[in-house]
Amino acid sequence: MSGFSKVTNYLYFCDSKAIKNFETLYKFGISTIITCNLPNFVKNFTDIQFYEINFSGKEKNKLESLMLTRELIEKVKKQNSELFNKQKKEEEKRTNELKKEKENSARIRQENEVNKTKEEKVIKNENENDNENENEKENEKKKKNGKKSNKEQKKDQEKEKENEKDQEVSLNKDKENANTNKQEKDQEKEEKQENKTKEEKVIKIKNENENENENDNENENEKKKKNRKKRNQEQKKDQEKEKEKEKEKEKIQKVLIVCEDGKDLSPMVVISYLMQTMKETLRKIYHHILKLRPNIHLSTNHFHLLLELDYFINDEYSYTLDEYLHRNYILTHSYY
């Protein structure tokens, strides 16, 4: 915004031309306007406070008017400090709420992880028990098969003895051998069927485990999606809170000091205010304002008033009137 010179976050000064653009005043957040020997420009705008200060007359009157401007600026500063404290308290509340939410979410995650581990342990124990039962069944079957084989061996021995004794009866031996072959074939068939059933059971168990793993993966994916949604929502909330903070910063009330040309009275008021509040020398503050607005040109009377204020605050003169006049003479004649 051309014509406005920023001194602090709440203090600006300009000339009378820049103040006539009312839209820029609202956009910039100007709440109070202090004019120096100028009429009221904002009669129809109730949102902006207006103060007209007269700097004509003797030095005592001018000093009183400077003190009055300081009081007005300090009022706005206090209002801003109160607003800033409110913002701090609200930020602390928000941070505490966010901490509580994060702690609750972390606690819930830990509980879910503990429950998940417990469920996995239970499933493992069940599978181990099932495997042990199957192994026991297989061992029992093997024992039974071993007993049968021992009985058959005894029978064969008896048959061999009978065959040795009864060599004459060869036909009976052939029949008995045929019967034994049939039994062996039947046993082989039974063993094959048992192996098939075992394989089918193993396949079923594998499929069930795969299905359980797929369900677990689906549940984990759903949990991840939910966590992502929560994180995105938290990020959106944080972004909205940051935007609100920026808006609140823009609501800080600002003071604009105006004189006709923006070179003499308004910079004098700003320099005197900074000298009184910061307790700094005239030389330091004057050069700081020159950097902000190089075209300022204080009258000798007004600069002499600042010199007296400098001596009153610091018990010495940091600048002399001759030095100031010499500097202005060099600046005005530097183009010739």
- 309-317 long-range contacts (CB < 8 A, ≥24 apart) are 309/63, 309/66, 309/272, 309/275, 309/276, 309/282, 310/275, 310/281, 310/282, 313/275, 313/276, 313/279, 314/279, 314/281, 317/282
* Residue 78 in this model has a pLDDT that exceeds 90: no
* pLDDT band of 248, cuts 50, 70, 90: low
> Which of 140-154, 195-209, 211-225 is the least confident region?
140-154
282-292 and 265-278 are packed helices; what angle lies between their axes, rounded to 10 degrees? 130
Q: β-strand 5-6 against 11-15: which pairing, if any?
A: antiparallel
Q: What pLDDT does 199 receive?
A: 80
Q: Which residue has the tokens 């075209």?
A: 295
Q: What pLDDT does 147 receive?
A: 55
Q: What pLDDT does 284 receive?
A: 92
The model carries a pTM of: 0.54
CA gap 6, 238 in Å, rounded: 31
Strand (E) or helix (H) holding 6: strand 5-6
Q: What pLDDT does 282 receive?
A: 92
* pLDDT band of 322, cuts 50, 70, 90: confident
CATH architecture under which domain 5-88+252-332 falls: Alpha-Beta Complex (3.90)
Average pLDDT over residues 319-327: 85
Instruction: Spell out the domain ranges in the chain.
Output: 5-88+252-332
* Residue 139 in this model has a pLDDT that exceeds 90: no
* Residue 196 in this model has a pLDDT that exceeds 70: yes
The mean predicted confidence, pLDDT, of the chain is: 79
Q: What pLDDT does 326 receive?
A: 81
CA atoms within 13 A on the CB side of 6: 9
* Residue 113 in this model has a pLDDT that exceeds 80: yes
* Residue 245 in this model has a pLDDT that exceeds 60: no
Strand (E) or helix (H) holding 112: helix 59-165
Alpha helices in 251-278 (DSSP H): 265-278
Q: Which percentage of the chain shows pLDDT scores above 70?
A: 85
Q: 173: which 2 tokens? A: 């031996």
Q: Return the bridge partners of 14, or none.
A: 258
| Dihedral-angle region of residue 247 (phi above 0 means left; psi in -120 to 50 means alpha; beta otherwise) | alpha
Average pLDDT over residues 183-200: 79
* Residue 184 in this model has a pLDDT that exceeds 50: yes
Q: Which of 3-17, 62-76, 126-140, 297-311 has the highest mean pLDDT?
A: 297-311
Task: Pick the more confident residue, 258 or 230.
Answer: 258
Q: What pLDDT does 1 receive?
A: 42
